[in-house]
Amino acid sequence: MVVAYIGLGSNLGDPRAQVEEGIDELAALDGDHLLARSWLYATAPVGPIDQPDYVNAVVALQTRRSPVDLLGALQAIERRHGRRRDGERWGPRTLDLDILLYGRRAVTGPGLILPHPQIRHRAFVLVPLADIAPLDLAVPGQGALGELLRACPMQGVARLAEPPAAIGGRPAPPLSCC
């Protein structure tokens, strides 16, 4: 078993509902176990395309799946939410699921680079990750989470007032910080 951190984001339809449903679907993956989930955050979009703000979160998922198999499971969830991969980068999304970290492994292969190559530049990932991961968490090849947070501009990230919702009818796992 390995702990993978998964980033979730949505800015189409009802973004909060899309992210909450995505978390529920991750919690229901056969053989995997949701360990923790972050608060929800309203975040400014990244990229040149004019689009609505996002809702983002991060979960910790204990899994037996390989990185490639986990990616396949995440893409199946995205497709169920109407996600279309049409080649447009940084465009609006019904639901976007990204493997941020897969244990302490660095992976480079077709269609998958871990840790996520832009993690150090993305406050919308680092801030919710810090809700559920220790600040000394090593991001392979990039440094500790706390160092990355201190170096990353925080503009455009605001925690939503509601606490994390229940997962599958159970209370949400506790936040490890914040």
- Mean pLDDT over 11-35 rounds to 94
Reported as a single tens digit per residue, the pLDDT across 54-111 is 999 999 999 999 999 999 999 999 999 886 766 566 667 889 999 999 999 999 888 8
Taking each helix axis as running N to C, give the angle between helix 15-27 and helix 67-80, from 0 to 180 degrees, rounded to the nearest 10: 140
90, 47 in Cβ contact below 8 A? Answer: yes
Of the pLDDT bands very low, low, confident and very high (cuts 50, 70, 90), residue 48 is low
Which residues does the annotation mark as catalytic? 83, 93, 96, 98
Domain boundaries, the chain: 2-159
User: CATH 3.30.70.560: does it fit domain 2-159?
Assistant: yes
